[in-house]
Each structure stands twice: as C-alpha cells, then as structure tokens.
Amino acid sequence: MSEAINPKIDEIMDRARRAAAVFNELDQEETNRIVTAACEAGFKNRVALAKMAVEETGIGKWEDKVIKNVVATQYVYEDMRDLKTVGVIHSDFESGITEIAQPLGPILGVIPSTNPTSTVMFKILISLKTRNPIILSFHPRATRCSTAAARILYEAALAADAPDDCVQWMEQCSLEDTNALMRDRRLALILATGGEALVHAAYSSGTPALGVGPGNVPVFIESSADIPFAVQQIMISKTFDNGTICASEQAIIVEQQSAEKVESEFTRASAYFVPEEDIPKLENAVFDREKGLMNAAIVGKPAEFIAQKAGIAVPPGTRLLVARQQHVGRKYPISCEILAPIIAYYVARDFDHAVNLCIDLNFLGGMGHTVSIHSNDEAKIHEFSMLMNAGRIVVNTPSSQGAVGGIFNTLHPSLTLGCGSGGRNITTDNVTARNLLNIQRVSRRRVNHRFEKFDASLYYKEDLGLNEIVEQFNRNY
C-alpha cells in the first residue's frame, strides 16, 4: 500500500511503473539514442537555463552555472557514452560468470536550489541511460528553472521514442509530498541532493537511497606547495558560482613558516582578511545560531554583498572574505560549512598541527566528503591522505571542480558526491549511471582449482587448528 498524502502521487507512481515496463524492452542502441537526444537538448539550452536559475533563485553567477550545465550534460554524457547498461555487459568463459544489467525501477530525484538545472539534467541523463523512470522533486525556490530543464530533456527524449512518463515532476511539491514519495513502496531508489535533514529523511524512509552529506572542506597549503599557484587554485574554486558547490573549500590551513606569503598572495588576489573586531559581525550575518545553520539569505551571494549586509567596509572588487580563526566547533560559526565566498583561515604550528586541524574541521561537518591539499612532497601527501576521512582527496587542484570530476582529473563527472559511512551514506563514489543498475550474475559450474584437491573431512577433526588445516590444504594443492 502507498502511504501517499497527495492522491496525485498514486497516479505518478503508476505512470512510472508503466514507463519502467516499456523501458525494460529497449535495447542498448535505442537507449543510447534517447540519452543522446536529451543531452543535446540540455546542452543547447545551457546558457538560457543558467540565467533562468540565477534569476529565480538569486544564487550564484549565471556564467558559472553555464559550466555546471556543461558538466551535467556533455561531460556526464561523454563519461558514460560507451557504458553498457542493457543486457549482457560482461562474460568470462574461464570463470563461468556472465553479468547482466537490469534497471532498478522508478527513481526519485530531489533537486537543490544551489545547482537546480544542472542537477535536474544530470539525474535525468543517468536515469535514461539505465532505463529507469525518474520523478523529480524541486526545491520551492527553484521550481520554474527546474521545470524548464526537465521539460526540455523530457520532450527531446520523447522525440527519440522514450517511454511516456519516463520523466515526471510535480509543479508544486511540498515537503509532505516529497516525504510521501520517499516512502512509497513502488519507488526503487532515492537520489537525494540537498540539506542534511533532507538526506537523513531519504535514508530513514525505508527506500534505498543514494544521498550526500555536507562538505566542510579543509584545504591544507603544505610548506612545499607552490604558494602563488595554490592561492590561485583556491580562488578559482571558492569563488566559483559564489561558493555554492559543497566541495568548495571552507577553511584554509597553513603552516606558520608559510603564513606571511600565503596572506600576501590572497590579498593580491582580491581576498580581504576581516579584522578581528569585525568577525562577530560577519558571524551574525552568515550564520543562523538558532537553527545552527548558515543563513540562507547569503548563500551564493557575492563577497561585497555579504560584507555590506554585515556592516563591514571592504575594498572595491573584493572577491573573498577571509576570517582568521583559532578554534573549531559549533561555537565558532565560520568553522562550519558556508556556501558563499567566505573562508576560515588557520595558522598551524607545524605539519602535525595542520593535519589535526583538518581532521577537526572534517569531523565537524564534512565526514566522508572531500579534503584538499596543495603540496609537492609525496610523502606528506600520502600521510595526509591516509589520515583523512574523505571520499575525494584532491591534490593541487581547485576543490570544487576537482571533486565534481572530469575537468581537472579523471574522476567520474557527477553532481552527486557520496560521502561513505563517515557521512552516513552508502557509497563514496561520484555517483553516475553505474550506481543505478542491478547486476545479475549468471554463474556456471566450474572447477575451482584452488579447492580441487581439498579434503573437506579435515574440518571434522577437532584437534586440527586453522594453521594445520591450511598447511595440509596447501600441501594437497
């Protein structure tokens, strides 16, 4: 039985189930044709959709949202273009195992206000590639642009003979409706992108979910780093779309010996170090202490706008607000995730102190997500990586674009970045079409030569320990 609150949900789910049945009959060529058509339509409208997103939400910069739309269409498409998602995808005669890809069934895609059109197109494309109908739940502040993106891709897919209702959405989808959709037994999977509460609701719904956690990303500028280059890369990342990517840097950690040069380079790059006496003003402007969350009114806003709102005078052209910090924790709001061009700044005594600060920041609100290091010392990079709880450790790379993948590295391009068990997620993957398949394994009888001569009766001899049994087993083999 469905637990739907809105009777329209029953109709949506029934249509999705019918679409799934038709989808199941398509071959790889037909599937690929649908994906190509939808991708091309989305790519063609990348600029118009980016402008529409900024106009509706007031978040970010349309020029950067164009790049997000490109990643969500062209980059994602190229990454999965040759991926087999229908029928036999692998067969190995020697092992006797054949792998068959099957769709999951109807998917619910929850869309955030920070990256609305790009996330819509990304989730539609990976769902079409895997023959899964998708139902979209839009953030209330991004309904118009999200609807436009969904309609463009859906109509292109239909023109390429996709099943009716393979993409659906509710024009007005309340939180209660979204929760009801999540709990519906006919749903196969939730792709949850949004705040911590929403992701928690997805995982608590009883429906399998691929969600993402918050990103509170520390970036460590280690003493061997090329400091001007590191500063340039951090500015590229943290100011991209006014800091709205969860993988953007949230705190800079430098060693004492490098601090003066780092600060000089940031100042040269139009970053402004907020005076100590003004930091409480900044905290009050960007953080809602009652909710314990960043203030939604400053998300994705320019640095100068935020400074004005806080009553802080900054030089014209300021692109990033930097706040010196001594401590990490909920009592120190700038040490928490803030999706805006604001960043905490810590000076560490040495390498070990710097790593401990990164661990504390990661633990505060970014477990399993992403960490960043700028260094030319491979031993230090290795040690840092071994100590961090992060699905993505980006090296000498803008963290935002590096974690998303496809631009500065060969990670799978994705708008859904898993955080593993640290972030209470099921995977650390950059989620792609590969995560939206059921893989059946046909296993034919074969002799496993490793156990071919093994005498199972050894197990019944209670006086033989594990080492003795293994020794006899190896002798027989």
Catalytic site positions: 246
In angstroms, the CA 59 to CA 245 distance is 11
Q: Estimate the crossing angle of helix 7-23 against helix 175-183, to 10 degrees.
A: 50
Residue where the block lists tokens 């949230």: 250
* Secondary structure percentages of the chain, helix, strand, coil, to 5: 50, 20, 35
Alpha helices (runs of H) in 168-255, residue ranges in sequence order: 175-183, 196-203, 227-238
Distance of CA 16 to the CA centre of its chain: 25
In angstroms, the CA 379 to CA 468 distance is 40
Q: What is the DSSP string of 305-341?
A: HHHHHHT----TT--EEEEE-S--STTSGGGS--SSS
The two tokens of residue 360 are 């504390």
- Neighbour-count burial of 196, counting CB atoms closer than 10 A to its CB (0-12 exposed, 13-18 middle, 19+ buried): middle
